[in-house]
Structure 1
Amino acid sequence: MMSYAVTGSSRGIGALAADPSNTVFALVRSKSSAQKLQDFVAGHAHKNVHILEADNDNIASIKTAAKEVAKITGGTLDVLIANGALMHHERNGLMLDEFPDENVLDDDMLTFYKTNVLGTIHLINAFLPLLRAGTTKKCIIIGSALGSHKFARRSEVLQYSGYSMSKAALNIAAARYASKYKGEGLIFLTITPGLVKTLQGTPEEVEKFFSSEEARIRERYPAFEGAITVEQSVRDQLALISRITVDRSGDFVNRDGTNVEG
Protein backbone atom coordinates (compact mmCIF):
# COMPACT_ATOMS: atom_id res chain seq x y z
CA MET A 1 0.00 0.00 0.00
CA MET A 2 1.38 3.38 -1.04
CA SER A 3 0.40 6.84 0.15
CA TYR A 4 0.71 9.95 -2.01
CA ALA A 5 0.15 13.62 -1.27
CA VAL A 6 -0.20 15.77 -4.37
CA THR A 7 -0.43 19.53 -4.14
CA GLY A 8 -1.33 22.19 -6.66
CA SER A 9 -3.11 20.18 -9.32
CA SER A 10 -5.66 17.42 -9.80
CA ARG A 11 -3.64 16.04 -12.72
CA GLY A 12 -2.47 12.55 -11.93
CA ILE A 13 -4.98 11.98 -9.15
CA GLY A 14 -7.03 9.65 -11.32
CA ALA A 15 -4.00 7.60 -12.33
CA LEU A 16 -2.89 7.21 -8.72
CA ALA A 17 -6.41 6.45 -7.49
CA ALA A 18 -6.87 3.70 -10.09
CA ASP A 19 -4.87 1.38 -7.83
CA PRO A 20 -7.20 0.59 -4.90
CA SER A 21 -4.21 -0.13 -2.64
CA ASN A 22 -3.06 3.50 -2.91
CA THR A 23 -4.15 6.21 -0.51
CA VAL A 24 -4.14 9.57 -2.28
CA PHE A 25 -4.29 13.00 -0.67
CA ALA A 26 -5.23 15.80 -3.06
CA LEU A 27 -4.07 19.08 -1.54
CA VAL A 28 -5.94 22.08 -2.94
CA ARG A 29 -6.02 25.77 -2.10
CA SER A 30 -9.78 25.69 -1.61
CA LYS A 31 -12.21 22.79 -1.60
CA SER A 32 -15.01 25.07 -2.75
CA SER A 33 -13.16 25.86 -5.99
CA ALA A 34 -12.23 22.23 -6.69
CA GLN A 35 -15.66 21.04 -7.78
CA LYS A 36 -14.42 18.77 -10.57
CA LEU A 37 -12.11 17.03 -8.14
CA GLN A 38 -14.92 16.67 -5.60
CA ASP A 39 -17.16 15.17 -8.28
CA PHE A 40 -14.40 12.71 -9.21
CA VAL A 41 -13.91 11.64 -5.61
CA ALA A 42 -17.65 11.26 -5.03
CA GLY A 43 -18.02 9.03 -8.07
CA HIS A 44 -14.79 7.06 -7.71
CA ALA A 45 -15.28 3.39 -6.92
CA HIS A 46 -12.28 2.87 -4.65
CA LYS A 47 -12.96 5.74 -2.23
CA ASN A 48 -9.22 6.13 -1.67
CA VAL A 49 -8.86 9.86 -2.37
CA HIS A 50 -8.96 12.50 0.37
CA ILE A 51 -9.26 16.20 -0.46
CA LEU A 52 -7.45 18.50 1.96
CA GLU A 53 -6.84 22.23 1.90
CA ALA A 54 -3.21 23.40 1.73
CA ASP A 55 -2.28 26.79 0.31
CA ASN A 56 1.35 27.63 -0.48
CA ASP A 57 0.68 31.13 0.85
CA ASN A 58 -0.80 29.88 4.12
CA ILE A 59 1.65 28.04 6.37
CA ALA A 60 -1.04 27.14 8.90
CA SER A 61 -3.10 25.35 6.24
CA ILE A 62 -0.05 23.34 5.17
CA LYS A 63 0.68 22.25 8.73
CA THR A 64 -2.95 21.31 9.28
CA ALA A 65 -2.97 19.21 6.11
CA ALA A 66 0.17 17.37 7.23
CA LYS A 67 -1.47 16.59 10.58
CA GLU A 68 -4.61 15.30 8.87
CA VAL A 69 -2.55 13.06 6.59
CA ALA A 70 -0.64 11.72 9.60
CA LYS A 71 -3.90 10.84 11.36
CA ILE A 72 -5.03 8.74 8.41
CA THR A 73 -1.70 7.04 7.63
CA GLY A 74 -0.42 6.59 11.15
CA GLY A 75 2.26 9.24 10.77
CA THR A 76 3.86 8.25 7.47
CA LEU A 77 3.84 9.28 3.81
CA ASP A 78 5.48 7.51 0.88
CA VAL A 79 5.51 10.19 -1.82
CA LEU A 80 5.01 13.95 -1.74
CA ILE A 81 4.47 15.60 -5.13
CA ALA A 82 4.84 19.38 -4.91
CA ASN A 83 3.13 20.83 -7.95
CA GLY A 84 1.69 24.02 -6.48
CA ALA A 85 3.02 27.10 -8.24
CA LEU A 86 2.13 30.57 -9.41
CA MET A 87 2.80 30.87 -13.14
CA HIS A 88 0.29 33.15 -14.80
CA HIS A 89 0.55 36.85 -14.07
CA GLU A 90 -0.57 39.97 -15.92
CA ARG A 91 3.05 41.14 -16.39
CA ASN A 92 4.55 37.80 -17.48
CA GLY A 93 5.37 39.31 -20.86
CA LEU A 94 7.68 41.96 -19.44
CA MET A 95 11.47 41.66 -19.33
CA LEU A 96 13.18 42.71 -16.11
CA ASP A 97 13.96 46.19 -17.42
CA GLU A 98 10.45 46.81 -18.74
CA PHE A 99 8.41 47.09 -15.54
CA PRO A 100 6.51 50.33 -14.83
CA ASP A 101 8.69 51.07 -11.80
CA GLU A 102 10.95 49.43 -9.23
CA ASN A 103 8.17 48.86 -6.70
CA VAL A 104 6.06 46.91 -9.18
CA LEU A 105 9.10 44.83 -10.12
CA ASP A 106 9.88 44.12 -6.47
CA ASP A 107 6.29 43.18 -5.66
CA ASP A 108 5.99 40.80 -8.60
CA MET A 109 9.31 39.05 -8.00
CA LEU A 110 8.65 38.67 -4.28
CA THR A 111 5.17 37.28 -4.98
CA PHE A 112 6.61 34.55 -7.19
CA TYR A 113 9.37 33.78 -4.68
CA LYS A 114 7.02 33.64 -1.70
CA THR A 115 4.52 31.32 -3.36
CA ASN A 116 6.75 29.10 -5.46
CA VAL A 117 9.90 28.86 -3.36
CA LEU A 118 9.03 29.53 0.27
CA GLY A 119 5.59 27.94 -0.10
CA THR A 120 7.14 24.74 -1.42
CA ILE A 121 9.82 24.76 1.28
CA HIS A 122 7.15 25.13 3.98
CA LEU A 123 5.26 22.24 2.36
CA ILE A 124 8.33 20.00 2.38
CA ASN A 125 9.19 20.90 5.96
CA ALA A 126 5.66 20.11 7.15
CA PHE A 127 5.60 16.69 5.47
CA LEU A 128 9.25 15.80 6.06
CA PRO A 129 8.61 13.93 9.33
CA LEU A 130 6.02 11.79 7.55
CA LEU A 131 8.38 11.05 4.65
CA ARG A 132 11.20 10.15 7.02
CA ALA A 133 8.89 7.76 8.85
CA GLY A 134 7.75 6.14 5.61
CA THR A 135 9.38 3.39 3.58
CA THR A 136 9.45 4.86 0.06
CA LYS A 137 10.74 8.32 1.08
CA LYS A 138 10.28 10.32 -2.13
CA CYS A 139 9.74 14.07 -2.48
CA ILE A 140 9.04 15.16 -6.04
CA ILE A 141 9.12 18.81 -7.06
CA ILE A 142 7.53 19.65 -10.39
CA GLY A 143 9.98 22.00 -12.04
CA SER A 144 10.32 23.65 -15.42
CA ALA A 145 12.89 23.94 -18.18
CA LEU A 146 12.43 27.68 -17.67
CA GLY A 147 14.40 27.20 -14.45
CA SER A 148 17.44 25.96 -16.37
CA HIS A 149 20.31 28.42 -16.89
CA LYS A 150 21.40 26.78 -20.14
CA PHE A 151 17.85 26.73 -21.46
CA ALA A 152 17.52 30.43 -20.66
CA ARG A 153 20.71 31.19 -22.59
CA ARG A 154 19.92 28.96 -25.55
CA SER A 155 16.20 29.65 -25.91
CA GLU A 156 16.49 33.42 -25.36
CA VAL A 157 13.05 33.47 -23.73
CA LEU A 158 12.54 36.89 -22.15
CA GLN A 159 9.12 36.33 -20.60
CA TYR A 160 8.11 34.64 -17.33
CA SER A 161 11.06 36.10 -15.41
CA GLY A 162 9.56 35.75 -11.93
CA TYR A 163 8.33 32.21 -12.58
CA SER A 164 11.62 31.13 -14.17
CA MET A 165 13.79 32.47 -11.37
CA SER A 166 11.58 30.91 -8.72
CA LYS A 167 11.86 27.53 -10.42
CA ALA A 168 15.65 27.89 -10.60
CA ALA A 169 15.70 28.60 -6.87
CA LEU A 170 13.70 25.42 -6.20
CA ASN A 171 16.37 23.38 -7.97
CA ILE A 172 18.87 24.60 -5.38
CA ALA A 173 16.44 23.88 -2.54
CA ALA A 174 15.97 20.30 -3.76
CA ALA A 175 19.74 19.83 -3.95
CA ARG A 176 20.13 21.09 -0.38
CA TYR A 177 17.52 18.66 0.96
CA ALA A 178 19.08 15.84 -1.07
CA SER A 179 22.51 16.52 0.41
CA LYS A 180 21.19 16.43 3.96
CA TYR A 181 18.92 13.39 3.76
CA LYS A 182 20.56 11.12 1.19
CA GLY A 183 22.04 9.04 4.01
CA GLU A 184 18.52 8.28 5.25
CA GLY A 185 17.44 7.09 1.83
CA LEU A 186 15.24 10.11 1.13
CA ILE A 187 14.96 11.07 -2.52
CA PHE A 188 14.41 14.66 -3.61
CA LEU A 189 13.88 14.98 -7.34
CA THR A 190 12.88 17.89 -9.57
CA ILE A 191 11.00 16.84 -12.72
CA THR A 192 10.11 19.02 -15.67
CA PRO A 193 6.89 17.63 -17.17
CA GLY A 194 7.45 18.88 -20.72
CA LEU A 195 5.34 21.30 -22.74
CA VAL A 196 1.92 20.06 -21.65
CA LYS A 197 -1.36 21.00 -23.32
CA THR A 198 -3.12 22.56 -20.35
CA LEU A 199 -4.04 25.98 -21.74
CA GLN A 200 -7.64 27.12 -21.32
CA GLY A 201 -9.45 28.49 -24.37
CA THR A 202 -11.08 27.46 -27.62
CA PRO A 203 -9.50 24.59 -29.59
CA GLU A 204 -8.34 27.14 -32.16
CA GLU A 205 -6.70 29.35 -29.52
CA VAL A 206 -4.99 26.38 -27.89
CA GLU A 207 -3.70 25.04 -31.20
CA LYS A 208 -2.40 28.46 -32.24
CA PHE A 209 -0.54 28.94 -28.96
CA PHE A 210 1.14 25.54 -28.92
CA SER A 211 2.01 25.65 -32.61
CA SER A 212 3.76 28.95 -32.01
CA GLU A 213 5.58 27.63 -28.92
CA GLU A 214 6.68 24.47 -30.71
CA ALA A 215 8.06 26.44 -33.66
CA ARG A 216 9.94 28.83 -31.38
CA ILE A 217 11.52 26.03 -29.35
CA ARG A 218 12.48 23.99 -32.43
CA GLU A 219 14.50 26.93 -33.73
CA ARG A 220 16.95 26.24 -30.88
CA TYR A 221 16.14 22.58 -30.23
CA PRO A 222 15.45 20.86 -33.59
CA ALA A 223 14.79 17.50 -31.91
CA PHE A 224 12.08 18.90 -29.64
CA GLU A 225 9.19 16.42 -29.53
CA GLY A 226 6.45 19.02 -29.33
CA ALA A 227 3.59 19.56 -26.90
CA ILE A 228 2.17 16.49 -25.20
CA THR A 229 -1.10 15.60 -23.52
CA VAL A 230 -1.63 15.73 -19.78
CA GLU A 231 -2.17 11.96 -19.77
CA GLN A 232 1.16 11.26 -21.46
CA SER A 233 3.06 13.58 -19.15
CA VAL A 234 1.45 12.13 -16.02
CA ARG A 235 2.06 8.55 -17.16
CA ASP A 236 5.76 9.22 -17.81
CA GLN A 237 6.24 11.12 -14.55
CA LEU A 238 4.63 8.41 -12.42
CA ALA A 239 6.72 5.74 -14.14
CA LEU A 240 9.86 7.74 -13.38
CA ILE A 241 8.84 8.32 -9.76
CA SER A 242 8.30 4.59 -9.24
CA ARG A 243 11.74 3.60 -10.55
CA ILE A 244 13.97 6.45 -9.36
CA THR A 245 16.61 5.51 -6.78
CA VAL A 246 18.50 7.43 -4.13
CA ASP A 247 21.63 7.79 -6.27
CA ARG A 248 19.64 10.30 -8.39
CA SER A 249 18.53 12.36 -5.40
CA GLY A 250 19.00 16.08 -6.02
CA ASP A 251 18.87 15.73 -9.80
CA PHE A 252 16.87 17.97 -12.15
CA VAL A 253 15.42 15.68 -14.79
CA ASN A 254 13.10 15.42 -17.75
CA ARG A 255 10.11 13.14 -17.40
CA ASP A 256 12.07 10.30 -19.07
CA GLY A 257 14.76 10.51 -16.39
CA THR A 258 17.46 12.21 -18.45
CA ASN A 259 19.12 15.19 -16.81
CA VAL A 260 17.93 18.67 -17.77
CA GLU A 261 20.84 20.72 -19.08
CA GLY A 262 22.13 23.18 -16.51
Structure 2
Amino acid sequence: MNVVITGASRGIGLELVRQCLARGDVVHAGVRAPRRATELASLVRGSSGRLHVHMLDVADEASVQVFAGALPGPVHLLINNAGVRSRPDALAGLDSEDLIRTFQVNAVAALRVTVALLPQLRAAGGAKVANLSSNLGSITDNSWGGAYGYRMSKAALNMATRSLGHDLKEDGILAFAMSPGWVRTDMGGSEAPTAVEVSVTGLLTVLARLGGEDTGGFFDFEGHRLSW
Protein backbone atom coordinates (compact mmCIF):
# COMPACT_ATOMS: atom_id res chain seq x y z
CA MET A 1 0.00 0.00 0.00
CA ASN A 2 1.24 3.52 -0.84
CA VAL A 3 0.82 5.88 2.12
CA VAL A 4 1.34 9.65 2.31
CA ILE A 5 1.93 11.22 5.73
CA THR A 6 2.32 14.95 6.33
CA GLY A 7 4.11 16.42 9.35
CA ALA A 8 6.20 13.27 9.53
CA SER A 9 9.40 14.42 11.23
CA ARG A 10 8.35 13.90 14.86
CA GLY A 11 5.64 12.81 17.25
CA ILE A 12 2.58 11.09 15.82
CA GLY A 13 3.72 11.60 12.23
CA LEU A 14 7.07 9.92 12.83
CA GLU A 15 5.44 6.99 14.61
CA LEU A 16 2.96 6.64 11.74
CA VAL A 17 5.93 6.32 9.39
CA ARG A 18 7.53 3.68 11.61
CA GLN A 19 4.42 1.55 11.90
CA CYS A 20 3.46 1.83 8.23
CA LEU A 21 6.95 0.73 7.23
CA ALA A 22 6.79 -2.14 9.72
CA ARG A 23 3.65 -3.48 8.09
CA GLY A 24 5.20 -3.30 4.61
CA ASP A 25 3.84 -0.07 3.16
CA VAL A 26 5.62 2.31 0.80
CA VAL A 27 5.63 5.66 2.60
CA HIS A 28 5.97 9.19 1.27
CA ALA A 29 6.73 11.47 4.22
CA GLY A 30 6.24 15.22 3.92
CA VAL A 31 8.33 17.46 6.20
CA ARG A 32 9.18 21.16 6.25
CA ALA A 33 12.93 20.66 6.74
CA PRO A 34 14.18 17.30 5.43
CA ARG A 35 17.80 18.03 6.37
CA ARG A 36 16.84 18.36 10.03
CA ALA A 37 14.67 15.21 10.04
CA THR A 38 17.45 13.00 11.39
CA GLU A 39 15.17 10.25 12.74
CA LEU A 40 13.48 9.96 9.36
CA ALA A 41 16.89 9.73 7.71
CA SER A 42 17.76 6.72 9.86
CA LEU A 43 14.48 5.09 8.88
CA VAL A 44 15.26 5.69 5.20
CA ARG A 45 18.47 3.70 5.53
CA GLY A 46 16.62 0.70 6.89
CA SER A 47 13.56 0.88 4.67
CA SER A 48 14.85 -1.02 1.62
CA GLY A 49 13.76 1.88 -0.58
CA ARG A 50 10.18 2.02 0.79
CA LEU A 51 10.51 5.40 2.57
CA HIS A 52 10.71 8.60 0.55
CA VAL A 53 11.15 11.94 2.32
CA HIS A 54 9.87 15.09 0.60
CA MET A 55 10.05 18.77 1.44
CA LEU A 56 6.51 19.95 2.17
CA ASP A 57 5.14 23.12 3.75
CA VAL A 58 1.42 22.40 3.92
CA ALA A 59 0.64 26.10 4.44
CA ASP A 60 2.25 27.05 1.11
CA GLU A 61 0.29 26.38 -2.09
CA ALA A 62 3.39 26.20 -4.30
CA SER A 63 5.08 23.71 -1.97
CA VAL A 64 2.01 21.48 -1.96
CA GLN A 65 1.81 21.52 -5.76
CA VAL A 66 5.49 20.55 -6.10
CA PHE A 67 4.98 17.76 -3.57
CA ALA A 68 1.93 16.43 -5.39
CA GLY A 69 3.74 16.55 -8.72
CA ALA A 70 6.60 14.47 -7.32
CA LEU A 71 4.37 11.64 -6.08
CA PRO A 72 3.66 8.68 -8.32
CA GLY A 73 0.18 7.20 -8.15
CA PRO A 74 -1.72 5.56 -6.74
CA VAL A 75 -2.05 6.78 -3.14
CA HIS A 76 -4.07 4.33 -1.07
CA LEU A 77 -3.96 6.23 2.23
CA LEU A 78 -3.41 9.94 2.85
CA ILE A 79 -2.88 10.94 6.48
CA ASN A 80 -3.08 14.70 6.95
CA ASN A 81 -1.20 14.82 10.23
CA ALA A 82 0.65 18.16 10.07
CA GLY A 83 -0.61 20.53 12.72
CA VAL A 84 0.33 23.26 15.19
CA ARG A 85 -0.85 24.42 18.59
CA SER A 86 0.20 27.66 20.26
CA ARG A 87 0.13 28.24 24.00
CA PRO A 88 -1.32 30.22 25.63
CA ASP A 89 -4.36 30.13 23.37
CA ALA A 90 -6.72 31.89 25.76
CA LEU A 91 -9.14 34.78 25.39
CA ALA A 92 -6.85 37.11 27.29
CA GLY A 93 -4.13 38.33 24.96
CA LEU A 94 -5.58 36.51 21.95
CA ASP A 95 -3.22 36.85 18.98
CA SER A 96 -5.37 37.03 15.85
CA GLU A 97 -2.41 36.51 13.51
CA ASP A 98 -1.43 33.34 15.32
CA LEU A 99 -5.04 32.19 15.27
CA ILE A 100 -5.15 32.62 11.49
CA ARG A 101 -1.86 30.72 11.13
CA THR A 102 -3.25 27.87 13.25
CA PHE A 103 -6.40 27.77 11.13
CA GLN A 104 -4.32 27.70 7.93
CA VAL A 105 -2.11 24.81 9.04
CA ASN A 106 -4.70 22.71 10.88
CA ALA A 107 -7.72 23.11 8.61
CA VAL A 108 -7.07 24.72 5.23
CA ALA A 109 -3.82 22.84 4.62
CA ALA A 110 -5.38 19.39 4.99
CA LEU A 111 -7.98 20.29 2.39
CA ARG A 112 -5.28 21.79 0.15
CA VAL A 113 -3.17 18.62 0.25
CA THR A 114 -6.19 16.40 -0.35
CA VAL A 115 -7.27 18.36 -3.41
CA ALA A 116 -3.73 18.36 -4.81
CA LEU A 117 -3.52 14.57 -4.47
CA LEU A 118 -6.95 13.76 -5.87
CA PRO A 119 -5.57 12.21 -9.11
CA GLN A 120 -3.39 9.81 -7.11
CA LEU A 121 -6.21 9.04 -4.68
CA ARG A 122 -8.64 8.33 -7.51
CA ALA A 123 -6.06 6.04 -9.14
CA ALA A 124 -6.08 3.82 -6.03
CA GLY A 125 -9.66 2.71 -6.64
CA GLY A 126 -10.65 2.79 -2.98
CA ALA A 127 -8.42 5.27 -1.16
CA LYS A 128 -8.86 6.65 2.34
CA VAL A 129 -8.12 10.12 3.69
CA ALA A 130 -7.51 10.48 7.42
CA ASN A 131 -7.50 14.01 8.81
CA LEU A 132 -5.89 14.11 12.26
CA SER A 133 -8.33 16.08 14.38
CA SER A 134 -8.80 16.28 18.15
CA ASN A 135 -11.44 15.87 20.85
CA LEU A 136 -10.90 19.61 21.35
CA GLY A 137 -12.57 20.12 17.96
CA SER A 138 -15.84 18.73 19.31
CA ILE A 139 -18.36 21.51 20.02
CA THR A 140 -20.47 19.07 22.06
CA ASP A 141 -17.48 18.15 24.24
CA ASN A 142 -16.34 21.71 24.96
CA SER A 143 -16.87 21.82 28.72
CA TRP A 144 -14.13 24.23 29.79
CA GLY A 145 -13.52 26.77 26.99
CA GLY A 146 -10.16 28.21 25.98
CA ALA A 147 -7.84 26.81 23.29
CA TYR A 148 -9.46 29.15 20.78
CA GLY A 149 -7.25 28.73 17.74
CA TYR A 150 -6.78 25.01 18.18
CA ARG A 151 -10.45 24.27 18.89
CA MET A 152 -11.68 26.43 16.01
CA SER A 153 -9.21 24.95 13.53
CA LYS A 154 -10.05 21.36 14.42
CA ALA A 155 -13.79 22.04 14.29
CA ALA A 156 -13.26 23.48 10.81
CA LEU A 157 -11.23 20.42 9.83
CA ASN A 158 -14.10 18.22 11.01
CA MET A 159 -16.53 20.14 8.81
CA ALA A 160 -14.19 19.83 5.82
CA THR A 161 -13.96 16.08 6.43
CA ARG A 162 -17.72 15.79 6.61
CA SER A 163 -18.03 17.48 3.21
CA LEU A 164 -15.24 15.36 1.72
CA GLY A 165 -17.12 12.28 2.84
CA HIS A 166 -20.04 13.36 0.65
CA ASP A 167 -18.11 14.83 -2.29
CA LEU A 168 -15.57 12.03 -2.79
CA LYS A 169 -17.81 9.02 -2.23
CA GLU A 170 -18.58 8.64 -5.94
CA ASP A 171 -14.82 8.49 -6.59
CA GLY A 172 -14.50 5.60 -4.14
CA ILE A 173 -12.52 7.79 -1.72
CA LEU A 174 -13.46 7.66 1.95
CA ALA A 175 -12.64 10.47 4.40
CA PHE A 176 -12.45 10.38 8.20
CA ALA A 177 -11.64 12.81 10.99
CA MET A 178 -9.51 10.95 13.54
CA SER A 179 -8.66 11.93 17.11
CA PRO A 180 -5.37 10.44 18.33
CA GLY A 181 -6.20 11.28 21.95
CA TRP A 182 -3.97 13.22 24.32
CA VAL A 183 -0.58 11.82 23.36
CA ARG A 184 2.86 12.12 24.95
CA THR A 185 4.66 14.09 22.25
CA ASP A 186 6.35 17.50 22.07
CA MET A 187 2.91 19.00 21.38
CA GLY A 188 0.97 16.91 23.89
CA GLY A 189 3.50 17.19 26.72
CA SER A 190 4.88 14.74 29.23
CA GLU A 191 1.67 14.60 31.30
CA ALA A 192 -0.40 13.17 28.43
CA PRO A 193 -1.82 9.72 29.33
CA THR A 194 -1.38 7.98 25.96
CA ALA A 195 1.90 6.71 24.54
CA VAL A 196 2.44 7.62 20.91
CA GLU A 197 2.90 3.96 19.96
CA VAL A 198 -0.50 3.08 21.46
CA SER A 199 -2.26 5.97 19.74
CA VAL A 200 -0.79 5.22 16.32
CA THR A 201 -1.46 1.48 16.55
CA GLY A 202 -5.06 2.32 17.37
CA LEU A 203 -5.39 4.86 14.56
CA LEU A 204 -4.12 2.44 11.93
CA THR A 205 -6.26 -0.41 13.26
CA VAL A 206 -9.41 1.71 13.23
CA LEU A 207 -8.66 3.13 9.78
CA ALA A 208 -8.27 -0.37 8.37
CA ARG A 209 -11.78 -1.35 9.43
CA LEU A 210 -13.69 1.85 8.62
CA GLY A 211 -15.83 1.51 5.50
CA GLY A 212 -18.22 3.34 3.23
CA GLU A 213 -20.92 3.62 5.88
CA ASP A 214 -18.45 5.54 8.07
CA THR A 215 -17.18 8.08 5.56
CA GLY A 216 -17.31 11.65 6.75
CA GLY A 217 -17.37 10.49 10.37
CA PHE A 218 -15.34 11.50 13.44
CA PHE A 219 -13.61 8.70 15.37
CA ASP A 220 -11.00 8.29 18.10
CA PHE A 221 -8.03 5.94 18.12
CA GLU A 222 -10.06 3.31 19.98
CA GLY A 223 -12.76 3.24 17.32
CA HIS A 224 -15.45 5.23 19.15
CA ARG A 225 -17.55 7.60 17.07
CA LEU A 226 -17.19 11.12 18.51
CA SER A 227 -19.77 13.86 18.75
CA TRP A 228 -19.41 16.92 16.56
- 2:106 counterpart residue number: 116
RMSD: 1.8
Amino acid at match of 1:196: V
Distance 2:33 2:186 in 1: 21
- Contact preservation (8 Å) 2:21, 2:47: no
Distance 2:61 2:187 in 1: 29
| One of 89, 96, 102 as aligned partner of 1:106 | 96
TM-score, length basis structure 2: 0.91
- 1:246 counterpart residue number: 212
Q: Which runs of 5+ in 2 are unaligned?
A: 8-12
- 1:24 counterpart residue number: 27
- 1:172 counterpart residue number: 159
- 1:12 counterpart residue number: 16
What's the CA shift for 1:19?
3.1
- 2:88 counterpart residue number: 91
- 2:177 counterpart residue number: 190
What's the CA shift for 1:190?
0.5
- 2:141 counterpart residue number: 151
- 2:203 counterpart residue number: 237
Summarize the Cα distance change of 1:79–1:183 in structure 2 as closer, same or farther, 3 Å threshold: same
Distance 2:69 2:182 in 1: 34
- 2:64 counterpart residue number: 62
Deviates more, 1:105-114 or 1:2-11: 105-114
Distance 2:23 2:70 in 1: 22
Amino acid at match of 2:77: V
- 1:224 counterpart residue number: none
Distance 1:165 1:45 in 2: 38
Q: Which runs of 5+ in 1 are unaligned?
A: 211-226
Summarize the Cα distance change of 1:5–1:157 in structure 2 as closer, same or farther, 3 Å threshold: same
Matched pairs, number: 223
Distance 1:177 1:131 in 2: 13
Distance 1:189 1:90 in 2: 27
